[in-house]
Chains A and B, each alone.
Chain A
Amino acid sequence: MIHSLFMINTHHDIFMEKHWKTAVKRSICDYFFTALEKASSPEDIPPVITTPHHYLITVYRDRLYFVSVIAKEVQPLFVIEFLHRIMDTFVEYFSECTERVIKENYVVVYELLEEMLDNGFPLATESNVLKELIKPPNILRTVVNSVTGQSNVADHLPTGQLSNVPWRRTGVKYASNEAYFDITEEVDAIIDRSGSTVFAEIHGSIDACVKLTGMPDLTLSFVNPRMLDDVSFHPCIRFKRWEAEKVLSFVPPDGNFTLCSYHIGSQGMVSIPIYVKHNVHYAGTGGKFEVSVGSRHTMGKIIEDLKISAIMPKQVTNVNLMPTQGEYSYNPVEKEVVWDVGKMAPGKPPSIKGVLSLQAGVPAPEEKPTLTVHFRIQQLAISGLRVNRLDMYSEKYKPFKGVKYITKAGKFQVRT
């Protein structure tokens, strides 16, 4: 399926290539570069590009392009998912996926690519299996290896590969056994000019950090599981028990993973924890800009990391604002105003206000900037989802358990 893979940086350098079948000349990437020139931004490049004999499927992430060469019909999502999986694996191994780390660890990268794909078909993609096959580089191991002459490559098959729990390593041991679950909810919303909600939904995910000895079997139950009607699961979750009892029953992978993610749709009522009042208008060579924010429906929790940004129309040359709290910055190249409010103290809602200077001689802009809001609320799941209990079976010890709730702004936009 996947013939070749080219890794390209933002300077259009092909800095690594890997072929699983007969090597494809790197000139094939010219089609990609042509498409890139046409696109207005790196994000805007179409995921599938047709060339006379091949198809290029591209993903762009972290300022890197992974361009895969396809010769035959295949589901494009298959390839896209796989390329992202490769990048995820790099992040797991090297804690980031940048040109620098890929170049530095090219041998491990090559070994990984070799292990993940056979003849263009996925072979081993589960990170726990891969980590047993090829040990992630760290200083200590490098030292040990060079002293003892051992290698990073395992000489026998990881047991996970054969078992029905390919996601879990075997023989896991921890001195202190812990299982932490972070329930993160992101509020996506579009608020229109008049302040009414055009659209709001919640995307939640349960991220787990499980460090438990042996083969624990966990059951996570919720106070109100009915909230979750649109869920996607990590393969470890037993779907039948979810269907029947609405509990999450699973043998967890070792380490960090996303247990499930859910979506609380536009049908249900989503309470918006923040309101934004704004007033932007232009007159002659100047304009007025005024924004104030306040909290509501936060159940007494404090909004943190509040940040409001807006891209000004290109006619705006400068801004001169006065915030009552926090500070603001203006980037005249990107035309971006960022108001960093910080923690929202109870009391008077913070506001910012001031004037815009417009370029002289050009008509005043028509469009008004869209405000993008960022915030974070600790210990609150805005949907009201609550974990009831976590039980562990088939191991004797008592693990330390913890659940954390966070609400964040996702794609939260206020049209002005």
Chain B
Amino acid sequence: FFVKMSYNNQSPGGAGDERSADPSSGGLFNVNYKKYDDLKNMLDQNKDFLKLEAMKRIIGMIAKGKNASSLFPAVVKNVACKNIEVKKLVYVYLERYAEEQQDLALLSISTFQRGLKEQNQLIRASALRVLSSIRVPIIVPIMMLAIKDGMTDMSPFVRKTAAHAIPKLYSLDPDQKENLIEIIDKLLSDRTTLVAGSVVMAYQAVCPERVDLVHRHFRKLCNLLVDVDEWGQIAILSMLTRYARTQFTDPNQYDTGVDEEQPFYEEEEDSDESEDEKKEKKPVYIMDPDHRLLLKSSKPLLQSRNSAVVMAVAQLYYHLAPRQEVSTVAKALVRLLRSRREVQAVVLQNIASMTLMRRGIFESFLKSFYVRSTDPTHIRVLKLEVLTNLATESNISVILREFQTYVRSSDKQFVAHAIQAIARCATNITEVTDTCLAGLVSLLSNRDEAVVAESVVVIKKLLQMNPSQHCDIIKHMARLLDNIQVPMARASILWLIGEYSEFVPKIAPDVLRKAVKHFPSQQDIVKLQIINLAAKLFITNQKQTKLLAQYALQLGKYDQSYDIRDRCRFIRHLIMPSSDMGGGQIHKHAKKILLAPKPAPVLESPFKGRDAYQLGSLSHTINAEANGYQKLPDFPQVQPDPSVRTVEIMEVVSDNKRRGGKTTRSKPMKKKSFYSDEDSSESEEEGSGSSSSSSGTEDSDSDSESSISESSSQETEGPDPRVSDSDKVNRKKKSTTTVMKKASDSGSDATSDDSDSSSSDEESSSEDEKPQRKQTKKKDIINLLDLDDFSPPTVSPSKTPSNGGLLAPMLASDLQGLSLGGNVSEMSGTFNGKSYELLHRVTGGGMAAKYRYPRTPCVYSDKMISVEVEITNTGDKPINNIHMGDKKLQAGLKVHDFDVIDVLEPGATTTSTMGVDFCDTTQPLVFDLCTENRKFNVNVKIPVGELVKPAAMPQTEFMKHHGLLTGMNENKCKLNIPESNQPMISKKVQEVVNVCLVPSTQNNVYSRFAGRTAHGGSILLVSVELGEQNDSKLCVNCEKMVIGSMVFKQLKEILSK
């Protein structure tokens, strides 16, 4: 079928023009210059598919690296093209060439500016992106404005794009730094996980030195960390590492430092410091709680699938954690060794640095560093390095056995490194020096010259440590000189013989004799050593070697290399001063000069000193300071004021106020009353936010719903329908608010917000589109904050949550705002749920628990009802590990447990939210509330009114449902509603049952409410008709008869009271 389809398609395509069904067959690689006119023609055409084809081919040229800049005028015209794919490709083109053709590029600016005002957030974002990417200095002010607008945009995606634009603007015009810092400061208060990573990257690029900006956001960032995307996590982790280095004191400062495990400790940078401290007194180090928070919140990221995240956590622990905790990162790093080859290489480099300083943490993973025959050479060498660093007296025998295998490898470069590794082990661990030496000597008989040469070089170094005991080795090496041709090895042997000729007095002159014989054919390095040997022997054994030495110096005098000629001249005057020069002074000291005792070379790791660079950084990898590398500061001696990080919840609110205030510029007068109402819901939102962030990502349902509705709202394009739409909204809103004002005094916050907006609308009703759009935009912002913002889970859920769809889909509510008069969040008043006792403190042995229904949408599932459990420890001991144990669930009941409470200190209270799906029944939930050692059987009862969730519907729909639900589904009666109750009907009703008010035209007579049951979604309608004396009517309709009648009974009771 597919084949047929494609065939059918291709023939008309081929007939029409050179366009073909397969976009790629247009040929990326056969565009020639003649076709440019062709392309221009196609771009000028009116048909989108021709433009698309042309653009595709131009992109092909760019991809190939061909110059397509001559097409700029033709392309730039299409920036306003309606077809989204053409547009995107034009954007790609502009980003590439606008820099080269700045004047022409200006033509496109107005299109982007228009794009910035689009309704579709994707278009706004991409316009901002291109505008900031075209690198035309003249538009810096425009970019600045666009970023400022984007920063307050309702869509977090646009805000993210704005954050990305900051470093672009900064690189274009560094003078804007101050303004940009201001923007970064504001964006840092954004609590959306989407934005957090990007703004931290911007901070790193623009103003990494402004530590003060981070204070207020430190805890928030720590708490958000787990939910940020992986790239953001990396940026935040490295930023927080630097931050912590300036704000906290060294956790190892009072460490005794004499750790048996770590003989390398004295090399550690902070050791002097700690020595000093120790002398004064021995204070106990107490870690700052924020320091602890950072370590704690980054630890889970060791489980990330992204190696860069794991590395970022590892370096954070390495640089910040107390010594004993650093080892937690080892396992994760070792796991990375199974990863891609490039990852392995970088991780091994870092491990090599870490093992030099803190060997203990990787000791138990020794075998993971064994070399496999499939490893490429550079990985092998790094593994050798790590193995060498890990060698101790206890494991050296295992390591040496492993090294022996490596020495037989066919990779000669690797073998050379293995030999060096053996030598390093020999110098580091004195117990095995002799064994190693013996092993190396046996390598001297190896058939491979490179192996022998390398062995000679390292043996020379080893012998220097203790030459007197090894004269047989020296003899053995003297014998080797006949066969070895590798210059470095020859030079080493000659040097050894010269230096220790006293141990081999008989052989030395003979060696010199042989060496001089081949003098002219040797490499420079060997010639120099021959001259050296001659000089040394001349001093110690003049009788036998005088002539030889003179001969050697004579040969050297006429050598091609001036270096050798110089050396000869120097040596000659040193050892055989000619009488007429009278230079006997130096001659007396010749022996001291030439045969001065030379210290044995220390065989050092090439990684020594690399830890001066921050681990995981590019500079560390290349062992040089890379561009833009920022040195990791040392810990301060005295801790700076930790209170700067304390953030009151109010402060966060005021931040939002500022941000909100910007967008509601149109009516600054009203701002105060508006937001003072908002405060309560703000804190509430925090509560729900925390539960959602701590439980991960469950609120996806609401999200998806919201964006679907958003897209549908965006489909109404063009300015005209929008105007009419928003007009409608406002008209509707007006009616709603009047209903609210007259029918009830409940004073719901959102309502007053609405009344504000509608009144401001009245003021500006003559103005059209613009302010109105702002209006809707503002509303979006509020809702957006509700949805996407997270607050640190440490903030306990607020004590006074209201209902209101704070987690409710922002854009769904936006849509509702367009089509319906009111929505959930607007309609519901503040509701302070009654608490019920779950566990009495006497039965609970000091643990008391209460639960209540906060009426917030449940984040776990939309069928569940949130139950907030408040646990207080009235005892005098901390209670550990409070969690939900066995549940006796009735059929269909589902429970999402609350998070385990690790510790509850005496006197402390904590709240936790669980989700319960009651299946629209009032059957209680019975479960065991468990602590570390006890179990309490408790049950949660649900009042019937809580089974319902508010449902927004317009009056017409209400009437329709009302008409359908008659007979058994209807409960009706007349009753007497006391005068005092009449203005509070909606409050009273909402107290009993969780419904929302339906906007009504007959607002003075009817109050109507609607809701749906949480599980089945059955409709519940309540209507109250006010009348004279005994003439008021109450009517409850519900698809579920039982629920209907129960609600009815309760309502009747409360209304007639």
Query: Which residues of A does B touch, CB under 8 Å?
Result: 14-23, 26, 40-41, 43-44, 46-48, 50, 55, 57-61, 70-78, 80-82, 84, 103-107, 109-111, 114, 118-119, 121-123, 125-126, 137, 139-140, 142-143, 146-147, 149, 151-157, 159, 161-166, 168, 170-171, 188, 190, 192, 198-199, 201, 203, 215, 217, 229-236, 238-241, 243-244, 249, 251, 258, 261, 263, 265-267, 311, 313-314, 363, 366-367, 370, 372, 393-394, 411, 413, 415
Contact = CB atoms under 8 A, between A and B. Distances in A.
A15 B64 contact: yes
A137 B900 CA distance: 46
Contact of B367 (A60, A118, A198): A198
B190 interface: no
B295 to A, nearest CB: 16
B1046 to A, nearest CB: 26
B697 interface: yes
B879 interface: no
B307 interface: yes
A252 to B, nearest CB: 11
B339 to A, nearest CB: 9
Interface in B701-740: 701, 703-704, 706-708, 710-711, 714
B338 A156 contact: no
Contacts of A313: 410
A24 to B, nearest CB: 11
Contacts of B694: 240
Interface stretch (B343-351, B524-532, B841-849): B343-351
A240 B700 contact: no
B303 A239 contact: yes
Interface in B37-78: 48-49, 52, 56, 59-60, 62-65
Contact of A75 (B88, B308, B410): B308
A376 to B, nearest CB: 19
7 contacts: A21-B171, A60-B341, A71-B628, A119-B165, A163-B699, A166-B229, A266-B365
A213 to B, nearest CB: 13
A163 B85 CA distance: 25
A188 B371 CA distance: 12
Given A146-B13, A157-B120, A233-B303, 10 more contacts: A77-B346, A110-B62, A111-B88, A151-B84, A153-B88, A154-B84, A164-B700, A165-B703, A170-B707, A230-B335
Contact of B63 (A17, A50, A217): A17
Given A114-B92, A151-B83, A238 B701 contact: no
Interface in B196-240: 198, 201, 226-227, 229-231, 234, 238
Contacts of B88: 111, 114, 153
B21 A155 contact: no
A198 B707 contact: no
B630 interface: yes
Interface in B597-648: 616-619, 621-622, 624, 626-630
B343 A73 contact: no
B710 to A, nearest CB: 8
Contacts of B788: 162
A162 B340 contact: no
Nearest to A47: B342
Most chain-B Cβ atoms within 10 A of its Cβ — which of A40, A77, A311?
A77
Contacts of B13: 146
B874 interface: no
A159 to B, nearest CB: 4
A238 B308 contact: no
Interface of B: 2, 5-6, 9, 13, 21-24, 28-29, 48-49, 52, 56, 59-60, 62-65, 83-85, 88-89, 91-92, 95-96, 99, 120-123, 125, 129, 132-133, 135, 155-157, 161, 164-165, 167-168, 171, 193-194, 198, 201, 226-227, 229-231, 234, 238, 300, 303-308, 310-312, 331-332, 334-335, 338, 340-343, 345-347, 364-365, 367-368, 370, 372-374, 376-378, 402, 405, 408-410, 413, 446-448, 616-619, 621-622, 624, 626-630, 692, 694-701, 703-704, 706-708, 710-711, 714, 788, 860-861, 863, 883, 894, 896, 899-900
B923 to A, nearest CB: 19
A339 B914 CA distance: 60
Contacts of A14: 65
A263 B303 CA distance: 11
A393 B892 CA distance: 12
Contacts, number: 336
Nearest to B120: A156
B48 A149 contact: yes
Contacts of A411: 372, 374
B764 to A, nearest CB: 30
Given A48-B621, A215-B700, A261-B305, A143 B9 contact: yes
Contacts of B121: 156-157
Contacts of B335: 230, 232, 263
A235 B619 CA distance: 29
Contacts of B305: 232-235, 258, 261
Contacts of A17: 63-65
Contacts of A139: 2, 5-6
A75 B312 contact: yes
Nearest to A43: B376
A118 B161 contact: yes
Given A80-B342, A155-B122, A164-B699, A143 B6 contact: yes
Contacts of A152: 85
A266 B366 CA distance: 9
A188 B408 CA distance: 22
Contacts of B84: 151, 153-155
B451 to A, nearest CB: 10
A78 B627 contact: no
Closest 8 CB pairs of A and B: A151-B85, A159-B707, A163-B703, A164-B697, A170-B704, A72-B628, A77-B308, A47-B342
A367 B409 contact: yes
Interface of A is mostly: mixed
Contacts of B238: 75
A198 B308 contact: no
A165 B701 CA distance: 10
Given A16-B64, A46-B378, A265-B331, A159 B5 contact: no
Contacts of B447: 363, 366
Nearest to A142: B21
A125 B85 contact: no
B718 to A, nearest CB: 15
A156 B125 CA distance: 11
A162 B157 contact: yes
A191 B376 CA distance: 20
Contact of B618 (A76, A198, A235): A76
Contacts of B24: 103-107
B122 A75 contact: no
Nearest to A250: B696
Contacts of B125: 157
A185 to B, nearest CB: 12
Nearest to A77: B308
A23 B133 CA distance: 12
Contacts of A23: 96
A55 B234 contact: no
A108 to B, nearest CB: 8
Residue with the highest number of chain A CB atoms closer than 10 Å, among B99, B364, B409, B697: B697
Contacts of B692: 164
Given A125-B231, A156-B120, A267-B364, A106 B707 contact: no
Given A81-B308, A106-B59, A153-B88, A238 B64 contact: no
Contact of B696 (A73, A81, A240, A267): A240
A415 B619 CA distance: 38
A217 B346 contact: no
A119 B234 contact: no
A165 B695 CA distance: 12
Contacts of B201: 121
Contacts of B883: 244
